[in-house]
Structure 1
Amino acid sequence: MGIEIERKFLVAGEGWRQAATRQTRFSQGYLSRDPARTVRVRLAGAHAFLTIKGATTGATRAEFEYEVPLADAHQLLAMCDGPVVEKVRHLCGHAGMTWEVDEFLGANAGLVVAEIELQCEDQPFERPAWLGEEVTGDTRYVNANLAVRPFASW
């Protein structure tokens, strides 16, 4: 079974931009936003993916991701429940770890979130200076929720 262990943080300031090495624009929508089984379709640059995620316990959940043809992904996006979430993902290295910094666009503009994937929930990691408050358990920051309750409406 695929497992994702991820912690999520707000970003404080612009210091992360100096660490950014690569960026990819994402468009993603949800075929199911049920917390027990989220089904997402994502366009990521020239690639597309269908992802199924299980319920979150702590920072851990089941995750299955499959690459799909771009044409299929465009058709699936048209079937999605709620608006499409747009963001640019920046990869930032720090202390031997890769941070994914998501800079949201559209109705979520102004929101910048950093995520780190871990091997286990208690894995130690060094916090970059630009890392702000942890929001791992705050469901407002779950992308499926941002699709229907965007940051601009808070």
Structure 2
Amino acid sequence: MEIERRFLIDTLPNDALSHPFRMITQGYLNTSPAIRVRCDNDQYYMTYKGRKFKGSLAVEEYNLPLNKESYEHLLAKADGYIISKKRYLIPDQGYTIELDVFEGVHAPLIIAEVEFPSDEEALRYLPPSWFGEEITGKKGYSNSYLSAHTAPFSSN
């Protein structure tokens, strides 16, 4: 299960890109339900993202570890665009902001995600002043949507 809030970023604070980051590359084998393969630095896995739980921010999510060869085999079968991004990890109020700086066809898109243990904590969270429009639940900014589209992005 995943509970997160997502925000567009227009202007980064001066120190944002000085934080540790991971390189993420992912492709989608299916978008509804979302089935993706991901390389996160040197870890490989397949993720199933299912339905959103009614009345909640929570989304069903399952990860299956892969080896490099399986990842590369499945990535070659992915539909649409391969997503590449640097994910910076920024501490904030006891949480971690995952700042995704997209590369390639999705540049200059920047999205911040914050994950929470409960809906209540997610709803209480006060985003930093440098966060832009909240895009939680907006299909046009989901990674599965981005795998089939380039800029301009949609707030749907």
Instruction: Give the distance between the partners of 1:108 and 1:9, measured in 2 at CA.
Output: 16
Match of 2:9 among 7, 11, 19: 11
| 2:72 is the counterpart of 1:74 | yes
Aligned to 1:134, what secondary structure does the other structure show?
coil
Q: Relative to 1, partners in 2 of residues 1:114 and 1:153: Cα closer, same or farther, differing over 3 Å?
A: closer
Which segment drifts farther, 107-116 or 15-24? Answer: 15-24
Alignment partner, residue 150 of structure 2:
150
1:129 offset after TM fit, Å?
Answer: 2.2
Superposition TM-score, scaled by structure 1 size: 0.89
Deviation for aligned residue 1:149: 1.1
The alignment covers a number of residue pairs equal to: 150
Partner of 1:48, secondary structure, is: strand
State how far apart, in whole Å, the 1-side matches of 2:48 and 2:139 are: 17
Residue 67 of structure 1 deviates from its aligned partner by 1.8
Cross-structure match for 1:42: 38
Corresponding residue SS for 2:52? coil
Classify 1:16/1:54 alpha carbon distance in 2 versus 1 (closer, same or farther; 3 Å): farther
The answer on whether the counterparts of 1:107 and 1:152 sit within 8 Å (CA) in structure 2 is: no
* Structure 2 residue matching 1:72: 3-state secondary structure: helix
Q: How does 1:1-154 map to 2 (within 5 A)?
A: 3-15=1-13, 17-18=15-16, 21-34=19-32, 37-57=33-53, 58-123=56-121, 124-152=124-152
Alpha-carbon offset, residue 19 of structure 1: 7.3
- Give, as a single letter, the amino acid of the residue that structure 1 aligns with 2:110: V
State the distance in 2 between where 1:112 and 1:102 align.
6
TM-score, normalised to structure 2, is 0.88
Name structure 1 gaps, 5 residues minimum.
Answer: none
- Counterpart residue identity of residue 151, structure 1: A
Matches of 1:127 and 1:41, distance apart in 2:
30
Runs (5+) with no aligned partner, structure 2:
none
Is contact 1:87-1:103 (8 Å) kept? yes
For the 8 Å contact 1:19–1:93, the answer to whether it is kept is no
- Go from structure 1 to structure 2 and tell me whether the alpha carbon gap of 1:151 and 1:56 turns closer, same or farther (over 3 Å shift): farther
Distance 2:97 2:82 in 1: 23
State the percentage of identical aligned residues: 31
